[in-house]
Structure formats: structure tokens, C-alpha cells
Amino acid sequence: MIALWLSTAAMAQTLVWDWPAGTERVWHIQAGVAYSNPIWLRSKDNVEGRVERIYTEFVWRCRAGEPDRNGWELACRIDDARLLADPLPTERDAVAALLPELEAGLIGATVQLQLDRNGHLRAVDLEGLPKDNRRSGAIHETLRLLVARNAAGFDLHLPSNGDLQKSWKQRDDLVYAYPISYGSLSGARVMHTLGDANERYVQIRSVGSGTVRVGEPVVDPTSPSGTQEPWMLDLNSEAQALFDGGEGHLVARRWVAVGRPIASSGWQVGLGVEPYVQTGVLSLLPSEAPPMTLAPSGLWSVDTPPGAAWHHLLASPLWKAPTTP
């Protein structure tokens, strides 16, 4: 996906985002999340179940409005959607039954992105799904958080004024947001480094580390302090991108982040918690490409994609020994 034929002999002159008003770009985006603790998926018909891992795949058709001094508002119609979930063993039937409903609700919905001129993704919203009562509102928020995992790859800051630098820093990154309905707060430092390039395309490698706080302190009479601290994770990330410096947009990007509970975290006390993992890949589809049709939603299988690819990921160096800037 990330072209390896580039050379450092000639380089693009600047690195700046650009998205002319009315320009349409179509993206194929995939993301996988393994939660430290299971999350709930729900349908409007009171079917619900908990999942430990979920894979989302989309075709987004994105169009920019008129830019302002801050950047662009992008409206991305979901042309197609696919969800694969790994539920708790006792809840497989319930999760299998509700996935088609979630898929149908996502197709035709619109993802709203606010992209700053420096590449910071300020906001991700999901329009076109009902949220007129508590249950539909909870379903909407769960899907918005999952959609945001797919959007995280767009959050790529470029150097100030587009100046070509060997490396530059980014503070905060959507990859470091934990997708859970009661919120998370994160701080991160990401270092971007230029790789191979030619007169138009540039490779960008990103390595980061940070901390994620999930939730707020809660009352706990059994604790000496009377409260239980929020869940805290140390998170490390790596990414590689191919950027079109001539037209000012991403061509492709892969990313992976692995989080482990801090020793004093509310999760960690007395619990054997699995690490939190998220990974994703986005790629720009050629304008002349025929419409892409995704396979149906269903249950996760370790024997078929993306389950097989996920197990390959877990054997990666990042999983075994996280890299820090």
C-alpha cells in the first residue's frame, strides 16, 4: 500500500493539506479495536451483547465545503459498511442478530469531519442516525466512536508553513482517544519523520507515546481514599503514510497503537486485563475505479480476514516492545 519505489533524489517542495471546495475523494478505510474490557453493542429492538474486539470497514465519499481560515468541513457519505465483532461466548447469537441492523443504519449516513489547515482533525460527528431517545442515542454514540477510529488516520499534522523538515512534532492525536461512551482524556507526543520521496509523493513515518485516562474518579467505599481512580493506559503508536505533496492529501496510511494499564489504574487493581489495541488502514481510491462493494457484516473469525491479519499484527514488534520517540 505504501509505495516503496520513491527515492530521496528529488522531493516535493512543500507539505501542505489542500481540499478544494466541491472536490470529491473516495476512501476505503478499515479499523480494528481490541478492548481492555468488553463494550456493549445494542439494537433498537432491545437486542444487546458485549464484544471484546470489533473490525469496521467503510467506503467513504468525502466532499469539502468552502474552506475558512481554520480549514475544511468535510461531509463523507458512507457508501458501504461492514462490521465484524468478537462477542463474549454466551452472547454470540445476540451480537450476530444485531450487526445487520447496525450495518444498514450506517450505510447512507454522513460522517462530518473538521480538518484544520495543519492537518489536525478537530471533530468527528455522525449524522443521519436517529437519537431521539436514550437507547437510540446510546446506539448513535457507540457507532460515532467506532467511525472515529476509522477517521483517526486523517489526523496527520504537517510541518509549520509546509516547510520540509527531516522531523517535526505533533501534540495530541485522535489515535490516542479511547472509544468509549463515557469519555476519555489523552495526552500524546508524536514525532513525524520524512522518508523516501520524489517530486510529488512523500513517505511520512510517525512514532508516538502518551497516556489515556478513561472516565472520571468514582466513589468507592472500599478504597482508603473513598474513590477509585480512572482507568489509565500507557499508549504507544506507529504509523506510516504516503502523502501527495502535489495535490495536498493523503494517498494511504497505516497505523497501530497498543495500550497497557498503568499499575495503579482502576482496571489494573485485582484484574488481569488484556492490552488495548487499535489498528487501521486508509487508502484513496482512484477516481476511475468502479464502486467498491464490501462483504456482509458478521462474527469475527480468527481463520479468515481480518482475523488472520489481526493475529499477524499481535506478533509485530510494537506489540512485544513498544517504541517511544
pLDDT in tens, 153-202: 999 999 877 777 788 998 888 888 877 765 556 677 899 999 888 888 89
Asked if residue 286 has a cis previous peptide bond (ω within 30° of 0), the answer is: no
- In the chain, where do the E strands start and end? 24-42, 48-64, 71-87, 110-116, 121-127, 167-171, 184-197, 201-214, 218-219, 227-228, 231-244, 249-261, 276-284, 298-299
pLDDT of residue 179: 77
Give the Cα separation of 310 and 33 in Å (integer).
10
Task: Name which of 256, 317, 238, 243 is nearest 284 in CA terms.
Answer: 243
Give the Cα separation of 124 and 173 in Å (integer).
13
Q: What residue type is assigned to position 88 of the chain?
A: L
pLDDT of residue 196: 85
Q: Which three cell numbers stand for residue 136?
A: 437510540
Domain 24-286 indexed as CATH 1.10.3470: no
pLDDT of residue 225: 55
pLDDT of residue 199: 81
Query: Phi and psi dihedrals of 266, rounded to 5?
Result: -60, -30
CB atoms within 10 A of CB 211: 15
Calculate the alpha carbon distances from 324 to 21, 115, 234, 262 in Å.
38, 26, 11, 16
Q: Which three cell numbers stand for residue 241?
A: 503514510
Task: Name which of 53, 69, 71, 60 is nearest 17 in CA terms.
Answer: 71
Give the Cα separation of 288 and 63 in Å (integer).
17
pTM (global) more than 0.95: no
CA-based angle 9:247:149, to the nearest 5?
105
Q: Is 171 helix (H, G, I), strand (E, B) or coil?
A: strand
pLDDT of residue 321: 32
Annotated domain spans of the chain: 24-286
Q: Which residues of the chain have pLDDT under 70?
A: 1-13, 181-186, 215-230, 263-274, 302-325
Q: Is 273 helix (H, G, I), strand (E, B) or coil?
A: coil
Q: Give the CA diameter of the chain.
A: 65
pLDDT of residue 66: 92
pLDDT of residue 322: 31
Q: Which three cell numbers stand for residue 204?
A: 511520512
